[in-house]
Structure 1
Amino acid sequence: MTSDFGGQLRIWRGKRRMSQLQLALVADVSARHIAFLETGRAKPSRHMVLRLGEALEVPRAERNLMLDAAGYRAVYARRPLDSATMEPIRKAITHMIAGHMPYPAFVFDRRWTVMDANASGHAMLSGFGLTDGDSFIDFLLEPGRGTELVENWHEVAAHLAARFRLESAHLGGDAVLEQAAEALACEAGEVDHGGRGDLPPVLAVRFRFGGKVYPMFSTITQFGTADDIALADIKIEMFFPSDEACEVFFRNMAG
């Protein structure tokens, strides 16, 4: 990416498919000022850089680059999750995933690397040969892995491909997510929903465990007001049973 502020602003505006006028309306500035900033005829204030970054939904790490290009100090930090400052966050995450027992819950980073899980989640990961620090994307892309573990893999692969593309677009482009999306889309092929009537309210992932199939759906939670770079990327995925047999399975597994 270009090192000058005007060039970065123009690139991010293009990524968000916004005209200068559209950006001006969202950021509450004049379109003429946007044009002057992009051509270098005007220098932005620190507040203006942050305002435009917010209007364009630029990820925080890239907002730091915009600040640096404009001659200002970065304001968004990347703190280790095990640091003292992040202790309340760690407690909140632990509370969420532990409270979700007996059903599995996982903590992932920006590129779907496993950061943590509750007891049921770790049991599932162990069954898959995974542990904290492993890439869930790499695991899914192993040949034959998806169909081995998920009965409705083609539907799930199509859903994941769309999600990874959406996440990559939000980040302004991420090669890992884009490559994963392309590979999963190829595996999914053409998903035919015809002849089944209305689609269900949520896609259930039909996991295979011990010769049986257990359908589950999930929710993904992120920190909506995070200003820490690493924290903004954290995703907490919690799975729920889609039928009584699945519910009983996880309750029995948890003892």
Structure 2
Amino acid sequence: MTTTAAIDTGAGPMLRGWRERRRLSQLELALRADSSARHISFIETGRSRPSQEMVLRLAEHLEVPVRERNALLLAAGYAPQFTETSLEDPSMGALRESMEALLRGYEPFPALIVDGTYTVLAANRGIAMLLEGVPERLLVPPLNAMRLTLHPQGLAPRIRNLRQWRGHLLEQMERQIALLRSDALRELYEEVAAHPVPDGAEEDTSGPGVCPIALPLRIEHRGTVLSFLSTIATFNTPMDVTVSELAIETFLPADPETFAHLRSLTP
């Protein structure tokens, strides 16, 4: 995934941009980073060149994504610190096996793993079940979770609360774009946001499966409306760009009917 951050803008303006995005004053950031507001001001205006340690410390307190921390280091004149290793690399073997075991163990409930642009890297049979009936041309790899969900010939026509769920997904993407400043993610957003909501897509907000604690995904499968609560897990303190952008999304049954339906499909 590429980033639009320009390396030649300098680390100071980039750090100021992240501070303003986090709505912190120079004093607040200085207190968190054990520095002074004067020093932060000098760094942001280019009057002082921050050390590598200071760049990383400020990035940590500003919750800058790992990929963007490399960009900050380059802008400050230092070598990138975080590697970007393909999941196919032999060194990632143990991680791949662990994630695949997690997906299998979650069956029959749906679960998948995506990267920073929602490309599906792995999925279990619960996801395959939800994709039944989707045209083959939409299932040609690489699959993209947002495209499959919001495409008019994908899952969208079967989602009973499509307007609500679509709004939730687009808001999620907007937050990611603001955080990662990714051209690829922006293009994906513009693509899926342009898909029209199918005629007759009404909000199903009553009856079994409507959860009072969180917005559920309500989707029809073989004549039964299933209700799921979505959870997303990421890695703590990742030291690799690829790992930092992985997300494991799982779907929990939101009602007894969904639980029973999924269990009935289990061999």
Structure 1 stretch displaced more, 1-10 or 44-53: 1-10
SS at match of 1:75: coil
- The alignment's TM-score, normalised by the length of structure 1, stands at 0.86
**Percent identity of equivalent pairs:** 34
* Deviation (angstroms), 1:170: 2.7
* Deviation (angstroms), 1:76: 0.5
Q: Which residue number in structure 2 is paired with residue 175 of structure 1?
A: 186
**1:240 matched to 2:252:** yes
C-alpha RMSD of the superposition? 2.9
Contact 1:81/1:90 (CA < 8 Å) preserved in 2?
yes
Q: Which amino acid aligns with 2:157?
A: E
**1:220 matched to 2:232:** yes
**1:152 matched to 2:161:** yes
Which consecutive unaligned segments of at least 5 residues does structure 2 have? none
Structure 1 stretch displaced more, 95-104 or 137-146: 137-146
**1:6 matched to 2:12:** yes
* Deviation (angstroms), 1:38: 1.4
Which consecutive unaligned segments of at least 5 residues does structure 1 have? none
Q: After the TM superposition, which segments of 4 or more aligned residues of structure 1 sit over 6 Å from their partners?
A: 191-196
Distance 1:65 1:73, change over 3 A: same
SS at match of 1:226: coil
Q: Which amino acid aligns with 1:67?
A: L
Q: Which amino acid aligns with 1:163?
A: Q
Q: Which amino acid aligns with 1:29?
A: S
Query: Which of 5, 23, 28 lines up with 1:22 in the alignment?
Result: 28
Distance 1:180 1:161, change over 3 A: farther
SS at match of 1:208: strand
Distance 1:180 1:11, change over 3 A: farther
In the TM superposition, what whole-angstrom CA distance separates every residue of 1:39-81 from its partner, at most 9, and x where no partner exists?
Answer: 2211111100101111111111111111111111111111111
* Deviation (angstroms), 1:205: 1.1
* Deviation (angstroms), 1:249: 2.2
* Deviation (angstroms), 1:162: 2.4
Q: Which residue number in structure 1 is paired with residue 142 of structure 2?
A: 133
* Deviation (angstroms), 1:32: 0.5
SS at match of 1:81: coil
Aligned length: 251
